[in-house]
Structure 1
Amino acid sequence: MNKIDYSPIQTLLAADNRIIRTGLRQAFTFAGFNGEAFTEAGTLEALSSAIEETSFDLIIVSAELGGAFVAPIIIAMRDGRLPHHPFPIVIMLLADGNPDLVRNVAAAGADHIMLLPVAPGPMLKCIDHFVVGRMPFVVTVDYVGPDRRIAPRLGCASAPHVSVPNPIAARIRNTPLAEIQSQIDLTRLELSTLKLRSYAGCLLAIDKTATNMFLRGKIEPPKLEFFTRSLDRIRVSFPFCCDDLCCTDVDPRTLGALSDLSADIEAIMHEDPSFDRARLDEFRTNCHVVADDLKQIISGKAMTTNEVRSKQA
C-alpha cells in the first residue's frame, strides 16, 4: 500500500493544552504534514480568527478552549455563515465522555469525536479513514452535518442524505482547485435549498402545534422553546441561504415577520392576555406567508443548479 502524502492538507489544530498541541504537531510533521500548511490555535479567539482567515481541509479542535465551548463556531461554519466553505473534516477532542457533552459536540456537526489523551497513531488512523470517504450530511432546521440522527426531530421531516465534498481526499488526490470549488458551490446550493425547505416545513409545524396549544389552553414550554430557537436559527441563516442561491430580490419584510413570530411564541408560552384570537390569526398568517416566501425562493427566484454549472463552465 502506498504511503499517504499528507503534505497538501491545510490543517488547523486548536487546543489550549500546549503539550497536546506540541505532541500532535511533532507526530504530524514526522508523518509528512507540511509545517507551512499547519496552523495552531490555543484560544477561542485564535480559533475564530484562523477559521475566518483560512480555508482548512482538516480541523482538530478541543471541545473547550479556555473554558469556552467551541460548538457555536463549528455550527456557524457548518451553517455557511463564515467566509470559507463549511466542509472541513472536523475532529473534536473531549476531556471526558460525559453524555451531555458528547451530544452537544455531535450536534455541532463534528465528523468524529475522540477522547483525550489521544495518541498520534489513532489520530492518523482516523485521518486515513477520511481519505477513503466521509459520512453524508443531513439538513434539518437546527442541524447541518454528518448524519447521526435516529429519528427526525420536532418540526422536521425525514432528511435526505447529501454527499458533500471531502477536502482531505481532494488534496491528496491532487484534484484541480477549480473542480474542488465547483463541487463546493454546487453542494452549498443544494444544502441551502434543503435548509429553506426544512425551514418552511418547520414554520407550518409551528403554526399547527402552537395554535393547538393556544386553543386547548395546554401550553408545553419545551416545544415552544424549541420553536423559539428554531426561529432564531432561521432568521440568522436565511440571508446566507439567499446568497448561496444567488437570490437578491427577497422581501425584507420576511425577516421582520420572523421576529414577530418569535414574539408571538413568547406570548403564547407565557399566556400573555394580550394574545387574543385576532393576534392568533395574524400569527398563523405570518407562518404561512413566510413559508410560502421560502418555497417561492426555492422554486422560482433562485438560480438553478444547471445555471450555476453553466456559469462555472
Structure 2
Amino acid sequence: MVDLGRRPETRKNVEILFGEPERQLRSNIRLAMRNEKFENVIDVENVGHVRQLLATRAPDLIIIDAETKGGSVSELIYDVRHGHIGENPFVPFIVTMWRPTEVLVQDVANSGTDDLLVKPVSPQQLVDRIKVLTENRKPFVVTSDYIGPDRRKDVSRGSDIPLIEVPNTLSVKISGEKMDPTKLSALVKRAQNTINDQRLKRNAFQICFLVGLILPALAEDRLDDPELEEHLRSVLTTSRDTAERMLGTEYEHVSNLCNNMIDVVERLLDNLMAPSTKDVSLLKPVSDAILLGFHPTSDAATMAGEINSALSAYDKRQKKHD
C-alpha cells in the first residue's frame, strides 16, 4: 500500500487537471495542494479544454466541478471511461458540486467518476480523497450501461459481476516507482481488453433480458406502451455497441447475429403498431444465440435460468414500486 505521507517529494511528479470556476476557491485549493507538494496542477477553463488536453497529455488525476461550462462533465467522464478520448480510460476523477440534486448526482455517478464532493470543500478534504484514490482505489465493474469504479453500497450482496483492478498512475507516481511507458501502455491495453470482454458478455445478457420484457408486451398487444418502444430502442443501442466492440476479438463471429438483431429491431420500430410475426418470432432465437456465442461452455438451460431469475427480480421491483 502506498503511504501518501511518507514520500511527499514524489507528489511533484503527479499531473492534475483542475477545473474550479470560482476564483477564490480555486486559489485556496491550489495553494493547499502546493503546500502538500502537488506542484504540477493545470487549470482547465471548460470541458472542451479538458478534451483538448487529453488529446496530448495523460494526467494522473482530474478534479472538476460538475457544472463546468463548455459541455457535459458526465459525458466527458463517460467518453474517457469508454476509451473515446485520452490515452488512459482509467484516470481517476473527483467531481465537486454546489447543488447536489438527485438528477445531477445520479448523472455524475453513472458516468464512471471515482468520487463526488459536495461544496464547500476544504483543501484538506480534497487531499484526503486523493489519499484514498492513491491507497485504496475501488476496482472497476462493467455492466451493459456502466464502466467505472464499483460504487455499490452493499458489498456483502452477492454478484456475478467480476471486479477488475485497473492501472493507477496516481498511485505509481506517488510511490516513487519508475514507470516504463511501454509497460504502462501494455497494462492499460490488457485492462481495456478485460473490460471489453466483460462488456460484451453483459451486453449479451442485457439483450436477452430486454427481449424477455418485450415478448410479453407484444403477445398482449400492448403496442402503445411507451416501455415497449424504450426496451426495443435499448436492444438496438446495445446490439450496435456489441457489434462495434467485437472487431478484433475472439467473438467476432457473433457479429452477424448482432447485425441480424439490429435489422429485426429496426423493422419492429418502423412498424410498431403492426409488427411482423416473423420479426417477433426471431427475437428470442437470435438473442439466445448471441448470449450462447459469448458463453460457449455454458449450456442453454443454465443461461435461461439466469435470465428468468433476472426477469423475476425485475418484476418484483416493478410491483413494489406500483
What's the TM-score once normalised by structure 2's chain length? 0.76
The answer to whether 1:147 aligns with 2:150 is yes
CA contact (8 A) 1:138 1:146 kept: yes
The one-letter amino acid of 2:226's match is P
Q: Say which SS state the counterpart of residue 55 (structure 2) adopts.
A: helix
Report how far residue 225 of structure 1 moved. Answer: 2.1
Who is 2:219 aligned against?
215
Comparing 40-49 and 211-220, the one that deviates more: 211-220
Who is 1:282 aligned against?
282
CA contact (8 A) 1:264 1:283 kept: no
Count of matched residue pairs: 284
CA contact (8 A) 1:142 1:230 kept: no
Among 166, 170, 184, the residue aligned to 1:180: 184
Q: Say which SS state the counterpart of residue 45 (structure 1) adopts.
A: helix
Distance 2:39 2:287 in 1: 51
Among 142, 159, 164, the residue aligned to 1:162: 164
Distance 1:262 1:150 in 2: 35
Who is 1:40 aligned against?
43
Among 125, 128, 132, the residue aligned to 1:129: 132
CA contact (8 A) 2:48 2:70 kept: no
Bigger radius of gyration among the two: 2
CA contact (8 A) 1:139 1:194 kept: yes
CA contact (8 A) 1:59 1:88 kept: yes
Q: Per the alignment, do residues 45 and 172 of structure 1 end up closer, same or farther by CA in structure 2, a change over 3 Å counting?
A: same
Who is 2:77 aligned against?
74
Report how far residue 207 of structure 1 moved. Answer: 2.4
Who is 2:16 aligned against?
11
Q: Per the alignment, do residues 115 and 168 of structure 1 end up closer, same or farther by CA in structure 2, a change over 3 Å counting?
A: same
Among 194, 204, 207, the residue aligned to 2:208: 204
Q: Per the alignment, do residues 14 and 167 of structure 1 end up closer, same or farther by CA in structure 2, a change over 3 Å counting?
A: same
1:264-283 deviation digits (Å, cap 9, x = unpaired): 56458xx421x121121234
Report how far residue 67 of structure 1 moved. Answer: 7.3
Report how far residue 182 of structure 1 moved. Answer: 3.1
Q: Say which SS state the counterpart of residue 53 (structure 1) adopts.
A: coil
Q: Say which SS state the counterpart of residue 13 (structure 1) adopts.
A: strand
Unaligned runs of 5+ in 2: 297-322
Distance 1:67 1:213 in 2: 42
Distance 2:68 2:231 in 1: 27
Q: Per the alignment, do residues 259 and 42 of structure 1 end up closer, same or farther by CA in structure 2, a change over 3 Å counting?
A: farther
1:61-80 deviation digits (Å, cap 9, x = unpaired): 11122274310111121122
Q: Say which SS state the counterpart of residue 91 (structure 1) adopts.
A: strand
The one-letter amino acid of 1:209's match is L
The one-letter amino acid of 1:272's match is M
Distance 1:137 1:198 in 2: 14
Identity percentage of aligned residues: 19
The one-letter amino acid of 1:78's match is R
Who is 1:29 aligned against?
34
1:137-160 deviation digits (Å, cap 9, x = unpaired): 111000011112368xxxxx8412
CA contact (8 A) 1:80 1:240 kept: no
Distance 1:162 1:255 in 2: 26
Q: Per the alignment, do residues 237 and 256 of structure 1 end up closer, same or farther by CA in structure 2, a change over 3 Å counting?
A: closer
1:6-37 deviation digits (Å, cap 9, x = unpaired): 111121112333444333223222321233xx
Unaligned runs of 5+ in 1: 152-156, 297-313
Q: Say which SS state the counterpart of residue 16 (structure 1) adopts.
A: coil
Distance 2:107 2:72 in 1: 10
The one-letter amino acid of 2:214's match is A
Report how far residue 105 of structure 1 moved. Answer: 1.1
What's the TM-score once normalised by structure 1's chain length? 0.78
